[in-house]
Structure 1
Amino acid sequence: MITFYPGPSKVYPQVGPYLQEAVESGLISANHRSEAFMQMLQHTVLSLKTKLDVPDDYEVYFVSSATECWEIIAQSLISASSTHIYNGAFGEKWMQYTHKITAGANAFYFDSETVPDLNKLYFQENEVICVTHSETSNGTFLPSSFLSELRSRTENLIAVDATSSMAGVALPWQNADIWYASVQKCFGLPAGLGVMIVSPRAVRRAEEIGENKHYNSLLFIRDNFLKFQTPYTPNTLGIYLIGKVMEQVEQIEIISEIIQQRAKNWYQFLAENGYELLVKNEAVRSGTVIAVHAEKTRIAELKKAAKQDGITLGNGYGKDKETSFRIANFPAISDEEIAVLKGFLIRTASNK
């Protein structure tokens, strides 16, 4: 079965041999305070920062998932309030979860065909600004120009959900203070690990707040990672695998160029073959999650036919659940697999 599901998605084929290596090395049975583990964690962090071009003074932590990052940010970095700028289901979920913890999460919803109007936003002092870089639910993304302008307008902490873009496209790290993602998308790895990347400004803010009440308090996590340890028994296998994948992949600038060209080809192909794109505005279409719109019955027919041909299409999500399907455009997916899906879509287009 070829999968284009946008998370969990296809893992790199090399992950199988890496799993065997991990078992044979004995590392996944090692204590997470051991020298062997600490050396592996240090190597993994360095490899990730090198391949993704993360600034030297930004710190990398591994947690359980992107969802856990919602909790860490709410507990350790939000002292009063947050403003959540979103147009889709995952941005909204982040806001709702934060509100449960802080009761001070403000929503700023914008239309999925537009870029948020910063002239309509006012941020309170020390308020954390939360944005979704690539909204997985509807196939939109925020252009780098938006993040650059946002950064130029405020000294507030900016947190970015980069779950469907980190390790797939080059990110403007300096334009935000907290970046996070899960590895089951562009990293090409099994689910069960989150990556959190924070700026010196975010560290200073965490120190000012001084929250250290939880096993996943940011300061507690940081104290351990500075020693290349973890605050709790970690997903050692996941950390090992991300290190191995970071060794094998190209620099992010090369990967990003490939992904963007693939996306351009996808959007052109779909339009030429009579498929309606969910996002009409080219300027805000995601390069990593491509959403296609159709009537409910047509979507059901396409997904059923694809499954019979050994292809898994991504379901729609949220309000577009039954009237769209999504195509993952992640680095682990091969050109040969894309050709198979395109062949299927050509055949099914002729049967409309």
Structure 2
Amino acid sequence: MTEDRLRMTPGPTEIPARVRERMSEPTWNPDVESEFYEFYRELTAKLEAVYGDDDVAVLSGEGILGLEAAIASLVEEGDRVLCISNGLYGDGFADFVETYGGEGVTCRSPAAEPLDLEAIESTLAEGEFDVATMVHCETPTGTLNDLEPVLSLLEAHDVVSVVDAVSSLGGTPVPVEGIDVCLGASQKCFSAPPGLCVLSVSDRAWERIESFETRSFYADLEPWRTAADEEWFPYTHATSNLFALDAAVDAILEEGVDAVFERHEEAAALCRDRTRDLGLEIYPENDDLASPTVTAISLEGRAREVQRRVQEEHDIVLSTGLGDLEDDILRVGHMGHNARAERVERTMDAIEAVLE
């Protein structure tokens, strides 16, 4: 491995020097030093500016912890949960629901196609649901879902909404104001190290969370509503990771959230243009569904070989698809620090050289 290796994966992303340097600073004991609590409150206030919403918490654990914590805290045995899906992570919510005793009803659309509003409305009409889950950016296929029409349907049926925005938050607008629990992670568009999940929680979701008996400890969201104010956390927080996330959020706010979104759009458009110049197809084909944070390139039966050669010959790390699409999709992550034209150009030059 060389020092100039380029990691263009859809998370974890490349981490800027200022973030790495901040992470190396002397740490506090977060259980006893009052300065830590003030720092945590300031960090969540900054995250609220990125979210465009208040009541944000940061948990020690990779992004999947947030998904599980949302279900563990909102779903009791026998609760009906509508799992709205057009991809691998949308389907995965149903596994968490079953783990915590709920009844998961999956309303599935084909991969890389829009969420089926008619099917969702029909399913909602068939019976009452307590909670609904969905994914904003289905990273394995590079699909960005239009959530606002779905959220309107859920609101009309008084259903609590949980959204996995792990691969979109901080890189493209997320309709957080209509979401009850919105989940993000440090290693994606924030370009901080893996190890933290961030989430916003609505008053309606807090009321539901606080009405339940605790059935989990590490994954229970209930203590986080007052943890910072009461200066007590349910476990020792990952202070160095929080330092790194703080520096990463500072970088976003200094650039300006709207400017960051624009930079992601430009990087994505460049990546898609270069892909089509090579005679290749985007997955999904409709640019309205293509995510600004990751581009999935169709390479039927060749993705793993191209991935291997791009790394060995050009020192650039890419990802392939997941599940049945592992060898059919090559994924370029242009999120966070990597959403820059020069990085996309270098990556696409390497793919072009390998394909030739």
**TM over 0.5, yes or no?**
yes
Inter-partner Cα distance in structure 2 for 1:336 and 1:120: 42
How many residues get paired? 342
> CA 1:288/1:246 → structure 2, altered by over 3 Å: closer, same or farther?
same
Task: Tell me: CA distance 1:19–1:116, structure 2 relative to 1, closer, same or farther (3 Å).
Answer: closer
Q: Is the 8 A contact 1:143 1:283 kept in 2?
A: no
Per-residue CA distance 1:8-50 (angstroms, 9 max, x = gap): 2211232222123x22xxxx24232421111110111111112
CA spacing shift, 1:102–1:226, aligned 2, 3 Å:
farther
1:130 aligns with 2:133: yes
2:86–2:115 Cα contact (<8 Å) kept:
no
What amino acid is aligned across from residue 53 of structure 2 in structure 1?
A: P
Amino acid at match of 1:345: I
Alignment of 1:220 onto 2:217: no
- Residues 184-203 of structure 1 mapped to structure 2, 5 A cutoff: 184-203=187-206
Q: Given that residues 58 and 196 in structure 2 are in contact (C-alpha distance below 8 angstroms), is that contact kept between their aligned partners in structure 1?
A: no
| Cα deviation digits, residues 221-265 of structure 1 (max 9, x gap) | 323134354211111111121112111222322211211122122
Do structure 1's residue 67 and structure 2's residue 64 form an aligned pair? Answer: yes
The alignment's TM-score, normalised by the length of structure 2, stands at 0.89
Question: What are the Cα deviations for residues 188-215 of structure 1, in whole angstroms up to 9, with x where unaligned?
Answer: 0111111121111111221233536524
Residues 264, 152 of structure 1: alpha-carbon distance in 2 compared, 3 angstrom cutoff: farther
In structure 2, what is the equivalent of residue 286 of structure 1?
A: 291
Q: Residue 39 of structure 1 contacts residue 228 of structure 1 at CA under 8 Å; is this kept in 2?
A: no
CA contact (8 A) 2:318 2:331 kept: yes
Give the TM-score normalised by structure 1. Answer: 0.90
The answer to whether the Cα contact below 8 Å between 1:216 and 1:231 also exists between their aligned partners in 2 is: no
Distance 1:230 1:323, change over 3 A: same
2:274 equivalent in structure 1: 269
Matched, 1:319 2:324: yes
For 1:156 and 1:82, locate their aligned partners in 2 and report how far apart those are by CA, in whole Å: 9
The letter for the 2-side match of 1:175 is G
Residue 143 of structure 1: SS of its match in structure 2? coil
List alignment gaps of at least 5 residues for structure 2.
none
- 1:175 offset after TM fit, Å? 1.6
**Is residue 2:84 matched to residue 1:78?**
no
When structure 1 is superposed on structure 2, of 310-319 and 97-106 the one drifting more is 97-106
Counterpart position of 1:18:
22
For residues 213 and 137 of structure 1, what CA distance do their matches in structure 2 show?
29
CA distance in 2, matches of 1:174, 1:144: 12
Q: CA RMSD in A?
A: 2.0
CA distance in 2, matches of 1:34, 1:143: 43
**Any conservation in 2 of the 1:212–1:219 contact (CA below 8 Å)?**
no
For residues 197 and 180 of structure 2, the distance between their equivalents in structure 1, rounded to whole angstroms, comes to: 17
* Bigger shift: residues 101-110 or 188-197: 101-110
- Which one-letter code corresponds to 1:247 in the other structure? D
Q: How many percent identity over aligned positions?
A: 21
Structure 2 CA distance for aligned equivalents of residues 16 and 71 of structure 1 = 28
SS at match of 2:140: coil
Amino acid at match of 2:61: S
Structure 1 residue 74: Cα displacement: 2.2
Is residue 2:258 matched to residue 1:253?
Answer: yes
> Using the alignment, how far apart are the partners of 1:330 and 1:241 within structure 2?
17
- The structure 1 residue matched to 2:9, chosen from 5, 9, 14, is 5
